[in-house]
Amino acid sequence: MKKLAIAILAMCFAGSVSAECPVAADAELAKLITKNGGINDPKLSDVCSLVGREGFTFMILGHHEVQSGRSFAFVNVLLADQELGIASSSHVATATEVSQVANAQESERLFLKAVSAAISGFMLEDAIAKLKESKSRIQAP
């Protein structure tokens, strides 16, 4: 339930990375992704095509920072139906990256690396099925 609340909150403040896919949870993440030329992951195009056909949104939530002499980043990816304000909280892929190189550029690089790792670990078909099930229950008379 906590993940669902976070995802719904993130959708309220989402800053779009591109017109279609993916959607970053906030403007700072969208700016970082855009500044670095987008997400260079070979699976992303297929993910976005399938998600778009289903009418869902592929969301990226995360954070990157330099702290205690290290750079780190963590990312969650999930599916959402922004029209209904619901997300597939049971299917979230997470990735974390840490480096001894402590600077902003390294934390940004780690963030993009974590995005790719999370995409690779995401169970897309299961998430779509679960979100469709949730959507049908909400829309049922």
Give the pLDDT confidence of 29-38 residue by residue, as tens digits: 999 999 988 8
Segment 46-58, tens digit of pLDDT: 999 999 999 999 9
Which residues fall within 8 angstroms of residue 122, CB to CB, at 6 or more apart?
47, 77, 91, 93
Task: Determine contact, residues 18/46, Cβ cutoff 8 Å.
Answer: no
Range of the domain at 45: 2-139
Sign of CA dihedral 9, 12, 13, 17: positive
Closest CA to 45 of 30, 58, 61, 63: 58
The pLDDT, as a whole number, for residue 20 is 53
Q: What integer is the mean pLDDT of 84-109?
A: 93
pTM over 0.95: no
Q: How far is CA 94 from CA 63, 69, 106, in A?
A: 12, 23, 19
* Number of domains comprising the chain: 1
Which tokens is 32 given? 């970082």
